[in-house]
Chains A and B, each alone.
Chain A
Amino acid sequence: MRLRVLAAALAGVLCMAAAADPSERLADPGQEARARAIFADVRCLVCQNESIDDSEADLARDLRHIVRDQVKAGKSDAEIKRFLTDRYGEFVLLTPRFSLANLALWGGPFLVVIFGAGLLIARLRNRPGDEELSPDDAERVRRLAETDSA
């Protein structure tokens, strides 16, 4: 088990930025750049957390070939990605869809911001009038002024 994982990791490492291989490239640099941009967002399905831009697994090579052919045939990015997801499922995309199933994923971080901001606002609103200092606070001010004048 361990050796297999190791071998897989090494295989991944050996074959770096495989998409840059000159023997695969498209003649038109504009189309090639578009294909590379798509590669970066397509997962090499048999690899560990690698895009087909990086991987030299046979499957990644095949996928690159398919994507390059479709770019050459003038298909749009969305069409190419739809073709890939129809075939391999959402797993193939490295950027998950904005869908209901992924709501927690996409919404989570922004929910934290909203929740945190809400708490802060609630706290700021409920603050008592801070015009007069309690004896306690006055003492604290005095101490702070002494120790933290810098």
Chain B
Amino acid sequence: MISEIGAFCLMLALAFAGAQVGLSAAGRVRRSTVLAAAGEGAAVASFLGVALAFACLVHAFVTSDFSVANVAANSHTEKPLLYKVAGAWGSHEGSMLLWCLALTGYGAAAATLGRGLPQGLKALMVATQGVLGLVFLAYTVFASNPLVRIPLNAVPVEGRSLNPLLQDPALAIHPPFLYSGYVGMSVVFSLAVAALIEGRVDAAWARWVRPWALAAWSLLTVGIMLGSFWAYYELGWGGWWFWDPVENASFMPWLIATALLHSAIVTEKRGALAGWTLFLALGAFTFSMLGAFLVRSGVLTSVHAFAVDPKRGVLLLLILGFTAGAGFGLFAWRAPRLSKGGVFAPISRESALVLNNILLAAATTAVFLGTLFPLIREAMTGEAISVGPGFFNIAFTPMMAVLAVVLPAGPLLAWKRGDLQGVGQRLMLAAAVAVGAGLLTLALVSPRKALGALGVAVGAWLIAGAVTELAERTRAFRVPAADSLRRLVGLPRGAWGMTLAHLGLGVFVLGACFEIGWRGEAAETLPIGGTLDVAGYHLVLDRVAPVDGPNFDADQAIIKATKDGAPVCTGRPERRVYPAGGQTTSEVAICYRGFSHLYMVLGERRENPAGKAGPPVWLVRAYWNPWATLIFLGPIIMALGGVISLSDRRLRLGVAARSRPATEPEPAKGKKPREQPA
């Protein structure tokens, strides 16, 4: 019964999305506040409908109702509760419902929170959001309904279970973050469409876009980091980024959103780049949809493509084509009329931000071509090629390296006309820190690697640059310390956010370059008592014992690690067998040594190479991943920067619409833009 209620609510949500489009559009055309308000109500109702449907699906998963096809295919009675819940979005159908939940949630949030927006713009935004909801809900209801029942005589006693690789805490919460990040761009998209129809893009508009873009960007940052962390410890390869198409699919919207956040600043502060900011606003959600299409259609088969269905792929492609086509068509038609905005000199913060955007656009192009060019070329000539890390190292990394090198100068440049010499002087200390860090790495870390040391220098440069920027703002060491401290406390949250985000990038670069440069690997087949050495650590396979899990059986190895004779830690890597699906996975053990990881994997059991009579041996692999924690810490700092910036009172929705009082700041009164719906 409950899943029928869910299916019914989903239909209702679809109807409300239709009403949302009609009422809001009519509200704009007739300039009717009543109609527009009714449209906003429909947006909230649509969200409630999807939320109820989603709750019903989760209920079906938690109670293991195998008469629901989706539950039977993706759940199992013996699964721990967390993974029963996570199973609700582990499949194609469930993940599309999660997408709809986020989409209508953002729609409802935009309708309720955007009180300060001009009537017409807001009605058009709600209408556009309604069109998106309509399209994706129709797809979910008619082509991918997760609440469909199995005929009563075919209901299985036990479900087929969720892929054991996906039964992991990081991956259980990865899709909600990723999807609320992806779909958060829909509000930005709707605002862009509304602004294009209204024909007015100004500083206020850029200010309204910013909180949504920031929220979505922060969530996406966390989502990508979680996915990467999952791949790091669950796949057991010791790597954290594989340039896999599915990873690229989530990375492209992130890059575009990053560019958007920067270009929106120019539009907000200087009224310039309005057209380009609109273009990016449309592009961010387009790349989000492209990501969903790539992952969910299985057009690019990859290690992550667990849900594959070509028929649905065509439908998703049609949705993508329609939505993006309409958005960019409107852009081509209306954008040329937009005003050009303020002028700026070659050396200015505007130029620096434009440079940022050029490099990010080029980097996105590299990821886009690296992901889709093989398809394009195969379709055109029939010749298949592969694009792997080698391509991205040449086409993507240099763009990012140049970006990192010029980044610290950007925030120090003045608007309109900057003073490069002055900026150079202020960055002298940061440059010295960077060069020192690089030289120190060359001198102290063996084996000596010039490229790795250069990477460390770039990371240190970014961190020192962010700190310099903070010191400049507080006039540290130039005014009395108490004065500086007062300035530090009084800094707007937006400034803190930027500094943290840039600092986080530096932390990431530092970790990534150090890990790639000096990772160590060792593998041996070991009998019990056998030893393995990696990066100065001495590992002993103490024993291998069977362990019973809730829904798996495992062999667990006890590996004792010592360094210079002193015990360091005991790792317990496992090799698990899931009887429900008959799959085997490996559970790595990570010993945290400061920021570095000693990473241990238990491989297959083999016969003794000396002969069948001898004791069995185990394939044991160990990696030394120095500073690997920084790789995941960096994005967290970046996302934190986004969240802090989001809490800046200057960004509160609606503030810009009123004539801003120049002295009295707005009292905080429950008008914070919400980070995520529900």
Chain A interfacial positions (CB closer than 8 Å to B): 1-2, 5-6, 9-10, 12-14, 16-17, 20-23, 40-41, 43, 48-51, 54, 89-96, 101-102, 104-106, 108-110, 112-113, 116-117, 120, 124, 127-128, 130, 137, 140, 143-144, 146-148, 150
Closest to A17 in B: B237
Bound complex: CA of A140 vs CA of B343, how far in Å? 13
- Whether, in the assembled complex, B608 has its beta carbon less than 8 Å from a beta carbon of chain A, the answer is no
Closest CB of chain B to A139's CB: distance in Å? 12
Which are the 8 A-B pairs with shortest beta-carbon distances? A94-B388, A95-B390, A116-B358, A20-B523, A109-B366, A112-B362, A127-B343, A91-B384
Which residues on the A side are within 8 Å of B522 (C-beta)? 20
Closest CB of chain B to A29's CB: distance in Å? 12
Task: Spot the interface stretch: B16-24, B29-37, B295-303.
Answer: B295-303
- Whether, in the assembled complex, B145 has its beta carbon less than 8 Å from a beta carbon of chain A, the answer is no
Bound complex: CA of A143 vs CA of B487, how far in Å? 21
- Whether, in the assembled complex, B671 has its beta carbon less than 8 Å from a beta carbon of chain A, the answer is no
B390 and A94 contacting across the interface, CB-CB below 8 Å: yes
Closest CB of chain A to B611's CB: distance in Å? 15
B609 and A23 contacting across the interface, CB-CB below 8 Å: yes
Of A16, A48, A93, which one neighbours B302 at CB under 8 angstroms? A48
A-B contact pairs, 23 of them (CB 8 A): A5-B306, A10-B584, A13-B165, A16-B621, A17-B621, A43-B386, A49-B245, A89-B383, A90-B384, A91-B383, A94-B386, A94-B388, A95-B387, A104-B373, A105-B391, A106-B394, A112-B361, A113-B362, A117-B358, A140-B342, A147-B662, A148-B269, A150-B473
Closest to A90 in B: B385
Closest to A116 in B: B358
Bound complex: CA of A5 vs CA of B307, how far in Å? 9
Q: Which of B298-325 contact A (CB under 8 A)?
A: 298, 301-309
Bound complex: CA of A14 vs CA of B605, how far in Å? 13
- Whether, in the assembled complex, B159 has its beta carbon less than 8 Å from a beta carbon of chain A, the answer is no
Closest CB of chain B to A8's CB: distance in Å? 8
Which residues on the B side are within 8 Å of A2 (C-beta)? 306-309
A109 and B343 contacting across the interface, CB-CB below 8 Å: no
Closest to B495 in A: A150
A48 and B305 contacting across the interface, CB-CB below 8 Å: yes
A120 and B354 contacting across the interface, CB-CB below 8 Å: yes
Closest to A9 in B: B303
Of B355, B391, B662, which one neighbours A146 at CB under 8 angstroms? B662
A150 and B307 contacting across the interface, CB-CB below 8 Å: no
Which residues on the A side are within 8 Å of B650 (C-beta)? 147
Closest to B340 in A: A123
Closest CB of chain B to A108's CB: distance in Å? 5
Which residues on the A side are within 8 Å of B64 (C-beta)? none
Which residues on the B side are within 8 Å of A51 (C-beta)? 388
Known: A48-B302, A124-B345. A105 touches B584 (CB 8 A): no
Closest to B526 in A: A22
Bound complex: CA of A50 vs CA of B671, how far in Å? 49
Closest CB of chain A to B333's CB: distance in Å? 20
A-B contact count, CB below 8 Å? 181
Closest to A10 in B: B583
Bound complex: CA of A38 vs CA of B521, how far in Å? 17
Which residues on the B side are within 8 Å of A22 (C-beta)? 523-525, 619
Known: A101-B377, A150-B491. A113 touches B523 (CB 8 A): no
Closest to A92 in B: B386
B369 and A109 contacting across the interface, CB-CB below 8 Å: yes
A16 and B236 contacting across the interface, CB-CB below 8 Å: yes
A109 and B660 contacting across the interface, CB-CB below 8 Å: no
Bound complex: CA of A91 vs CA of B305, how far in Å? 20
Which residues on the A side are within 8 Å of B237 (C-beta)? 16-17, 54
Closest CB of chain B to A125's CB: distance in Å? 9
B601 and A16 contacting across the interface, CB-CB below 8 Å: yes
Bound complex: CA of A102 vs CA of B391, how far in Å? 11
Which residues on the B side are within 8 Å of A41 (C-beta)? 388, 390
- Whether, in the assembled complex, B370 has its beta carbon less than 8 Å from a beta carbon of chain A, the answer is yes
A95 and B298 contacting across the interface, CB-CB below 8 Å: no
Which residues on the A side are within 8 Å of B388 (C-beta)? 41, 43, 49, 51, 94-95
Of B242, B365, B370, B609, which one neighbours A112 at CB under 8 angstroms? B365
Known: A90-B383, A116-B362. A23 touches B525 (CB 8 A): yes
B490 and A89 contacting across the interface, CB-CB below 8 Å: no
Known: A12-B303, A91-B385, A101-B377. A124 touches B391 (CB 8 A): no
Bound complex: CA of A43 vs CA of B583, how far in Å? 25
Q: Which of B334-384 contact A (CB under 8 A)?
A: 342-346, 351, 354-355, 357-359, 361-363, 365-366, 369-370, 373, 376-377, 381, 383-384
